[in-house]
Amino acid sequence: MRELFLTEEMIVTNFHLVFGENCPFFGKILYLYMSRGFDRCKITFVRFLQCLYPFMNNEERNSHNKIAFQMLDIDKDNDLNILNLVHLHKNMEPDSRIGNEIFSLIEYYINNTLTKKSSGNQSTNVGINYDAFSKIIKKCAIIDEIREVIFGCALVGANMNQGDLVVAHSSCFKKDPLFKFEKGHIFDTIYETIEEDVSMGQRGF
């Protein structure tokens, strides 16, 4: 029987065919999550399901946001540092749902880390951990994106949380007028201090 597998090139090249929008950087993120951070791995069908099928488990909805956090934590140090966040922001559409969420994380980082450094109150926390992430991003857009695009399934009926809305799918990577990014000036603060935060992750992430 022929072995079924995915490579990084396959995922990145065909990303737009699956998700409807071209975001090769998230394709790389998806690959690195499934490959446990290793290059030149073949992602088997079993490994693919091990990584992504948990999004389909409605009884474990509380773990969905943690999986999304682990995907975005490219250097696997359990923190989203400023280099992680800047890479994410630069390589995602800023006027999108996921771009809006990433900028919310950057604003939190500036207000709770960079501002404290500049005022002389050195913070021991150099990044955003999962607890902070889940307070800022209640439910990451990646969750429904993968549920709906990969598995063709949205939360409905008894599986919905109170306040959830059933809407036609619109890619979280797509430019959306609801999420107009107008705060580019805020990055002046980041680039003045970014040298202090160095990521030791693979590929310079």
* Residue 85 pLDDT exceeds 50: yes
> Distance between CA 67 and CA 65 in Å, rounded?
5
Burial class (CB in 10 A: 0-12, 13-18, 19+), 167: exposed
Over residues 146-201, the pLDDT tens digits come to 999 988 876 444 444 544 444 456 889 999 888 877 666 666 555 555 544 444 44
**What's the confidence (pLDDT) of residue 110?**
85
How many contiguous H segments (helices) and E segments (strands) does the chain have? 11, 2
Percent of the chain having pLDDT more than 70? 74
As a whole number of angstroms, the distance between CA 13 and CA 77 comes to 28
pLDDT at 57: 80
Q: Which residues contact 86 (CB under 8 A, 6 or more apart)?
A: 106, 187, 190, 194
Lowest mean pLDDT among 34-38, 58-62, 68-72: 58-62
pLDDT at 154: 60
Is-contact 23 97, C-beta < 8 A? no
Residue 123's identity, in one-letter code, is S
Give the H or E element holding residue 188: helix 187-193
pLDDT computed for residue 13 by the predictor: 95
Greater confidence (94 vs 197) lies with 94
pLDDT average, residue stretch 116-124? 54
Lowest mean pLDDT segment, chosen from 46-50, 81-85, 152-156: 152-156
Place of tokens 């399901």: 49
Given this model, what pLDDT does residue 170 score? 80
Q: Where are the domains of the chain?
A: 5-199
Please tell me the predicted confidence (pLDDT) of residue 97.
93
Give the pLDDT of residue 87: 86
DSSP-assigned letter for residue 80: B
- pTM, two decimals, is 0.78
